[in-house]
Structure 1
Amino acid sequence: MNENIIEEKVDIQKLKSLDKKYYLHPTTSIHQQQENGPTVIFKEGQGIYLTDVYDDVYIDGLSSLWNVNIGHGRQEMVDAVSTQMGRLAYSSSFQGFSHDPVICLSQKIATMTPGDLNVSFFTSGGSESNETAFKLIRNYWKLKGEAERTKIIGLNRGYHGITMGATSATGIAQFQNMSTANAPDFLHAKAFQLDCELGDKSNPNYRESIRGIIEKEGADTIAAVILEPVQGAGGINIPPDGYLQAVRQLCDEYGILMIADEVITGFGRTGEMFGVNNWGVVPDVLTVAKGITSGYIQLGAVIIRETIRDELAELSSDIFFHGFTYSGHPTACAAALKNIEIVENENLVVNAKNMEAEILKGFKYLESKHPTVSKIRAIGLMGAFELFADRANEVPFEPSQMVAQKVVQECMKRKLIVRPVIFEGSNIITIAPPLITNKEQIGTIIEILSEALTVVEKELIR
């Protein structure tokens, strides 16, 4: 087989060899990939299913990377992209240049977002979106004569991407430790401290809360607070009722901007079009990617309030010296427009909300049958549960037992893709299937999870 061409009759062993030789995988053990080659080589997808080169069919229980919201293999997406490529595959948005797909997408997003979040800047993905938000906000404060406002407060267990600033905002040590240096002026608060954010100084976690950090650092040094409405990569951690409202009020109190990272939660994942809608909160900046195109092509966006755009225009006539080659990519914008049309026409946001009850029902079954399962949770079509050696007392398994990883491996044997979260010694199993997933398919996912848990528990519980 020519190394540059994948022939119709695939030489699978040759593919594995080429993968090991030439491909550096993201978020993968390089050592294991060099020893074993790729875990799976997929060749096609349809609906919630992926097929590998051996013709084995897997349930995509994670929407690949939380992003294939409308499912795989949608011909409408192929047609939309093909048509746009035939008209105008690419055109730059620098120097004020524009085109109809980016204009129409910007307008469409403005009809969907809460409040006056009506102005979009486009990127190629979530990391770029958050990186852009940080730069834009710091520029905003500089133009307002408050250049000392540079600090960004994120939350422990929050995830915001892998570029330098996005990694620095991320509250997961494994991502920060990958590099020998991180960007300055990023701080991390203990997540979900509702009482503290409301002003309870008697709480032992007060100094580690957002409010406590603001008071320690000085509000006039804080540019923004960034949080996910629901923490995704950190373990599908859902905030307590009132928490997002408290953070919004806290930011208003001190004149700090609030960024909602909706890269995972945006476009229907939580059973609302945007995660913040679950709590009636309007941030100052909202970042998106993933579900905006369901992964059919790369696209992200930073959506800001009109008032911020107006202030930027009034405060400076200089060029906005920030932009990516693919900002407002016309083919990507056409894909996003078609994707949003599918989400709306097929009522996928409503379906996500309805399937939340099915996930919780299934998780309750797992909790009743399996003594290790606890802390079940779901919102829309994303859910998680945790595994404990002694769940009554929340005694964790030893990290060396690799419990969550073993459950995921057993699921893979049964052709179900789910994700382990093992940060800080946790053993969390997460699912986030496409928004087209139905009741029967949720049932199948639960059955496989139960089979996998049974195998692992037999090994652990003697």
Structure 2
Amino acid sequence: MTKSLAANISVEELRELDKKHYLHPITPLKQQQAEGPELIFKSAKGLRITDVQGNEFIDGVSALWNVNVGYGRQELAEVAREQMMNLSYASSFFNQSHENVIRLAEKLAKIAPGKLDVSFFTSGGSESNETAFKIVRHYWKLKGKAEKSKIIALENGYHGVAMGTTSATGVPVFKDMITEVAPGFLHAIPYLTECEKGDKSHPDYERSLRGIIEREGSETIAAVIMEPVQGVGGVNIPPEGYLQAVRDLCDEQNILMITDEIITGFGRTGKMFGVDNWNVVPDLMCVAKGITSGYVQLGAVMLSSEMRDEMTELSDGPMFHGFTYSGHPTACAVALKNIEILETEGLVENSRKLGEKLFQGLKYLEENHQITADARALGLLGAISLFKDRDNREGFDFDLHAATAVVELCRERNLILRPLAFGMEAVAIAPPLIATEQDIDTIIEILSDAIKEFEQKVL
């Protein structure tokens, strides 16, 4: 038996223990119970991950879109250790604070767009979006407009797996686990730019943001939430002018605009934040993932000091919302160092520059294969779609699981990518921002080989 890890336990024993004791997220239960985990990771450095059997893989999706500065950064480990030895934990409840959370809030205020200069800290993306929903409803309630409570999200948008964020998510499969959604969540068709500007001639006008606001009444709508680039829902990049049209609509209708930057923040799209690509400033901005590059759990909701001051003036008591790990000292220390690395190593600009190369590579795949179409990338966030008949946009039969099959063929070639299935059949590519031109070439070459083999099987 192959032995693994310091405990001298075999790979087979690890698989059996995993099957017996570990309930996996976003994993088919039958598959895990029948086969055990497909990969058991042991170590990682840069863009490469090694499993317990010694196989080395290129991580082409930054794990869960979050390992922006790559694996094995000694400086992040050092600041974490130093902070744990100095102040392992501190609470921000009851008007208490500590230096790291103050310094991180100040740093975020400096790099965030517009007047977003106040942060509320969480443990991750779902908590950040959930917090944003509570803040906007609390805000309107304080202003004597408690009826402004509805949240409009976009179809194919993904915002998390808490009760409210699941309800806001517009990817239907994420609702399969629940029996009912939270009240007050609506969904609009994305990217109907002319509708949002006021053109009612489009056949889907009633399902646009403006159409829904018109139907429901702006006096009942608290906020609109959207990802600058939809991630899980397909890596969908909005058309030019769309974000500005939504911003203008929200201003016109006295509705708050929330942007979910969980994936797009901290350099992923070639700008520090996704909205920076369109010079749009939301009222609230939710971040997580890349804020620490996944080294420690952390998220935040950012808003303006003007909005904070309004709530302060209208509020008499505490804001009864918070998490045990809000503003965790070690997480804040790692975030500060992580942002320093992004800035000093020019990784945001590297993402922009290599994003152009990634897009060229995806266009190459589109032009040289029979089943590929809709190449897209913004920074190091890209995808390509798979079609049985791409000219007519006819998809593969659902049972074929085309994107998953292609990703599995990539894994056989030691490249980890992400299938975007759920009926859309696309492959996502989002390597760490430390990637090189050679890394992009290698990823495209392996993906091309995998697509070619899949084509030979199905065409």
TM-score under structure 1 normalisation?
0.98
The aligned residue for residue 120 of structure 2 is 121
Write the letter of the residue equivalent to 2:408.
Q
Q: Deviations over 1:334-387 (max 9, x none)?
A: 010010000000000000000111111111211121111100000000101111
Inter-partner Cα distance in structure 1 for 2:115 and 2:31: 48
Inter-partner Cα distance in structure 2 for 1:146 and 1:62: 43
Aligned to 1:449, what secondary structure does the other structure show?
Answer: helix
The aligned residue for residue 436 of structure 1 is 434
Inter-partner Cα distance in structure 2 for 1:136 and 1:160: 16
Larger CA deviation: 217-226 vs 390-399 = 390-399
Is 2:113 the partner of 1:110? no
Inter-partner Cα distance in structure 2 for 1:391 and 1:328: 48
The aligned residue for residue 449 of structure 1 is 447
Inter-partner Cα distance in structure 1 for 2:353 and 2:94: 45
Is 2:36 the partner of 1:43? no
Inter-partner Cα distance in structure 1 for 2:412 and 2:334: 34
User: What's the CA shift for 1:95?
Assistant: 0.5
Inter-partner Cα distance in structure 2 for 1:177 and 1:192: 26
Inter-partner Cα distance in structure 2 for 1:343 and 1:186: 36
Give the RMSD, CA atoms, in angstroms: 0.9
The aligned residue for residue 231 of structure 2 is 232
Is 2:206 the partner of 1:207? yes
Write the letter of the residue equivalent to 1:264.
I
The aligned length equals 456
Inter-partner Cα distance in structure 2 for 1:94 and 1:158: 32
Inter-partner Cα distance in structure 2 for 1:233 and 1:337: 27
Inter-partner Cα distance in structure 2 for 1:319 and 1:390: 58
Aligned to 1:318, what secondary structure does the other structure show?
Answer: coil
Sequence identity percentage: 57
Indicate if the aligned counterparts of 2:122 and 2:323 stay in contact, CA closer than 8 A.
yes
The aligned residue for residue 263 of structure 1 is 262
User: What's the CA shift for 1:9?
Assistant: 2.9
Aligned to 1:251, what secondary structure does the other structure show?
Answer: helix
User: What's the CA shift for 1:12?
Assistant: 1.0
Indicate if the aligned counterparts of 2:149 and 2:184 stay in contact, CA closer than 8 A.
yes
Indicate if the aligned counterparts of 2:234 and 2:424 stay in contact, CA closer than 8 A.
no
Inter-partner Cα distance in structure 2 for 1:426 and 1:159: 14
Aligned to 2:144, what secondary structure does the other structure show?
Answer: coil
Aligned to 1:129, what secondary structure does the other structure show?
Answer: helix
User: What's the CA shift for 1:174?
Assistant: 0.4
Is 2:40 the partner of 1:16? no
The aligned residue for residue 298 of structure 1 is 297
Inter-partner Cα distance in structure 2 for 1:457 and 1:37: 29
Inter-partner Cα distance in structure 2 for 1:142 and 1:428: 42
Aligned to 1:302, what secondary structure does the other structure show?
Answer: strand
Indicate if the aligned counterparts of 2:5 and 2:52 stay in contact, CA closer than 8 A.
no
1:54-93 mapped onto 2 (5 Å cutoff): 54-93=53-92
User: What's the CA shift for 1:39?
Assistant: 1.2
Inter-partner Cα distance in structure 2 for 1:302 and 1:346: 26
Q: Deviations over 1:399-419 (max 9, x none)?
A: 122211110110010011111
Is 2:335 the partner of 1:336? yes
Is 2:31 the partner of 1:32? yes
Aligned to 2:395, what secondary structure does the other structure show?
Answer: coil
Write the letter of the residue equivalent to 1:460.
V
Inter-partner Cα distance in structure 2 for 1:254 and 1:7: 60
Q: Deviations over 1:106-140 (max 9, x none)?
A: 00000000111000000000000000000011010
Inter-partner Cα distance in structure 1 for 2:287 and 2:359: 26
The aligned residue for residue 358 of structure 2 is 359
Q: Deviations over 1:134-168 (max 9, x none)?
A: 00110100000000011000000000000000000
Aligned to 1:188, what secondary structure does the other structure show?
Answer: strand
Inter-partner Cα distance in structure 2 for 1:234 and 1:173: 10
Write the letter of the residue equivalent to 2:334.
A
Runs of at least 5 residues in structure 1 that lack an aligned partner in the other structure: none
Inter-partner Cα distance in structure 2 for 1:338 and 1:426: 37
The aligned residue for residue 426 of structure 1 is 424
Aligned to 2:235, what secondary structure does the other structure show?
Answer: coil
Write the letter of the residue equivalent to 2:363.
K
The aligned residue for residue 307 of structure 1 is 306
Aligned to 1:192, what secondary structure does the other structure show?
Answer: coil
The aligned residue for residue 149 of structure 2 is 150
1:247-286 mapped onto 2 (5 Å cutoff): 247-286=246-285
Q: Deviations over 1:72-126 (max 9, x none)?
A: 0000000010010111010100001000000000000000001110000000000
Inter-partner Cα distance in structure 1 for 2:304 and 2:259: 12
Indicate if the aligned counterparts of 2:418 and 2:428 stay in contact, CA closer than 8 A.
yes
1:177-196 mapped onto 2 (5 Å cutoff): 177-196=176-195
Aligned to 1:233, what secondary structure does the other structure show?
Answer: coil
User: What's the CA shift for 1:8?
Assistant: 4.5
Inter-partner Cα distance in structure 1 for 2:100 and 2:90: 11
Inter-partner Cα distance in structure 2 for 1:28 and 1:6: 24
Write the letter of the residue equivalent to 1:45.
A
User: What's the CA shift for 1:11?
Assistant: 1.4
Inter-partner Cα distance in structure 1 for 2:43 and 2:317: 48
Runs of at least 5 residues in structure 2 that lack an aligned partner in the other structure: none
Which segments of structure 1 move beyond 4 Å, counting only runs of 4 or more? none
1:361-440 mapped onto 2 (5 Å cutoff): 361-423=360-422, 425-440=423-438
Inter-partner Cα distance in structure 2 for 1:384 and 1:295: 22
TM-score under structure 2 normalisation?
0.98
User: What's the CA shift for 1:6?
Assistant: 5.8
User: What's the CA shift for 1:177?
Assistant: 2.0
Aligned to 2:9, what secondary structure does the other structure show?
Answer: coil
User: What's the CA shift for 1:51?
Assistant: 0.3
User: What's the CA shift for 1:391?
Assistant: 1.0
